[in-house]
Amino acid sequence: MKRAIKCVFAIIVLFVAIGGAVGIHHELLSKQQSNQLEKKKIENTICPVDWEYLETYNMEPFTTNLPVLMIDTKSQLVEKENSIWGEIGIYDRTENDIQKDPDLILDAAIKLRGASSYTNFDKPQYKIEFYKKSHKKDYSYGLGGMHPNSEWVLNGPFLDKTMVRNALMYGVSRELMDWAPDFRYIELFVDGEYQGLYLAVEKISRNEGRLNLSDFGLASGQTAYIMKRDRVGTELLEYDSYGIKNGYTKNAVSVQYPSPTEITKRQLNWIHKDFDDFEKKLYHANFAEEGFHYEDYIDVDDFVDYYLINEMSMNHDAGFLSTFYYKELDGKFKLAVWDFNNTFDNYQGFKIKTYETLMAKTDWFDKLCEDRAFVEKVCTRYHQLRKTTFSEEHLLDKISDYQNTMGGAIDRNFTIWGYSFELNLLVDKEAADRDPESYDEAKRQLLVCMHERLNYMDVHIEDLYKKCKN
């Protein structure tokens, strides 16, 4: 009897020891490995593997260290105006072999996106939204370890031959701002055809892990909100703000959150009034006199960093196009960065000179730069950042890291899109030396432009004081 008890006890001890070892092992698993375990749980519950993609499209072997998305359009034409229902297989391991089963298969609403990229470039840009098989409920998934969400932008670098500008400046912005879009390099297939390197980017939206704004409003109509300034006719819920009506600002302003399907008339009216009240006070302010304190309405430090991020990168569109303002209930205006494809003299329409000031001419900032206190914050912050985030050593390290991440996908991308080196995309009178003829030349142009821009700003950032009116 005693012997039997001892045996049972020994088995229990061994079982506990094994359990403890397993527990320790799981503690030592990397975050990515842990995510894989979670993905397998998901796969076995809502997404059984019945993937016939490889056979359907007779695909060749393909392996990569980057995540892979495989879009199946079910032979439908993907358009910008309306989404289609398709299916997306996700390979999201440290090593991905498409001959194996995907980590996850999800239904998805798929559409094209973009403005100039949509009309001018061959490489499509996509917006995707993951859904469960019922199509009735969206499904949040964290691509490449990002915060789970159902909506993603797939940005396909075409004009930017380095394929690093967006990643570089989103990365810099995430070091400085309260929130900036997260991103991951991926490789994309559509209906069995390899589409090259893409950047999966978080959409600017109200969600946990993104702009974590209040999802409720008050009876008065007061609500958290997101606004976008962009080309007229490109968005729903556009309106002419006070600044536009009175010639102070340009382009159209639209409400992005609350969404067009959920916003109430009372909320819409309250947002318009709130936005207009600030523009009216700002553009009628006399900074030489006491009275209006814009710091009561905007997060000044946030505006300063937004200014410098876009000024340093020579982002001609910032402040006029793809400009996002957001505001919490009883909060202050903040800005979210977006779209650096045209930066560092990569603007398609004309050459952006490294020795010119851009942001002080844009909406809202043109007026803010009339105030000496604001300019002083911009100049002081710039000199601080040049020792840290804006140091050339730091920026070059980030570029090198992104290129290492892309790895062999760079060459694979240009097996499809390499003909773009033969195109005159940067069309203007000075285009002859701007269109790179190889990846190495594109990289060299970026580095030279960045060096020249920083040197110029080192000497001339304080020229902003000349605009001050107090």
Q: Is 254 helix (H, G, I), strand (E, B) or coil?
A: strand
**What are the φ/ψ torsions at residue 153 (nearest 5 degrees)?**
-105, 130
Structure tokens at 118: 């949509």
The helix (H) or strand (E) run that includes residue 84 is strand 84-91
Q: What is the identity of the amino acid at 189?
A: F
Q: Which of 225, 232, 279 is nearest to 255 (CA)?
A: 225
Structure tokens at 117: 């990229």
Report which DSSP code applies to 56: H
Determine the Cα–Cα distance for residues 202 and 181; give it in Å rounded to an integer: 5
pLDDT, residue 119, reads 64
Determine the Cα–Cα distance for residues 428 and 223; give it in Å rounded to an integer: 45
pTM equals: 0.88
Residue bearing tokens 């209906």: 191
Q: Which of 354, 343, 351 is nearest to 432 (CA)?
A: 351
pLDDT, residue 52, reads 84
Determine the Cα–Cα distance for residues 43 and 139; give it in Å rounded to an integer: 13
pLDDT, residue 49, reads 53
Q: Residue 292: CA atoms inside 13 Å, Cβ hemisphere, count?
A: 18
Report which DSSP code applies to 144: G
Q: Which of 118, 135, 451, 119 is nearest to 312 (CA)?
A: 451
CB 344 within 8 A of CB 309: no
CB 89 within 8 A of CB 72: yes
pLDDT, residue 23, reads 38
Tens-level pLDDT at each residue, the chain (470 residues): 434 434 433 433 333 333 433 333 333 334 444 444 444 444 433 444 567 888 889 899 999 999 999 999 999 999 998 999 999 999 999 999 999 999 999 999 999 997 666 667 899 999 999 998 878 789 999 999 999 999 999 999 999 999 999 999 999 999 999 999 999 999 999 999 999 999 999 999 999 999 999 999 999 999 999 999 999 998 999 999 999 999 999 999 999 999 999 999 999 999 999 999 999 999 999 988 877 899 999 999 999 999 999 999 999 999 999 999 999 999 999 999 999 999 999 988 788 889 999 999 999 999 999 999 999 999 999 999 999 999 999 999 999 999 999 999 999 999 999 999 998 887 665 555 788 999 999 999 999 999 999 999 999 999 999 999 99
Determine the Cα–Cα distance for residues 248 and 192; give it in Å rounded to an integer: 50
Structure tokens at 83: 């989404």
CA dihedral in degrees (372, 376, 382, 387; nearest 10)? Answer: 170
**What are the φ/ψ torsions at residue 183 (nearest 5 degrees)?**
-160, 160
CB 67 within 8 A of CB 143: yes
Which residues touch 269 (CB under 8 Å, ≥6 apart)? 221
Q: Can you list the pairs that 257-266 forms with residues at least 24 positions away whose Cβ atoms lie under 8 Å? A: 257/205, 257/206, 257/211, 257/213, 257/224, 257/225, 257/226, 257/326, 258/217, 258/223, 258/225, 260/236, 263/237, 264/217, 264/221, 266/220, 266/221
User: CB atoms < 10 A from the CB of 433, how many?
Assistant: 9
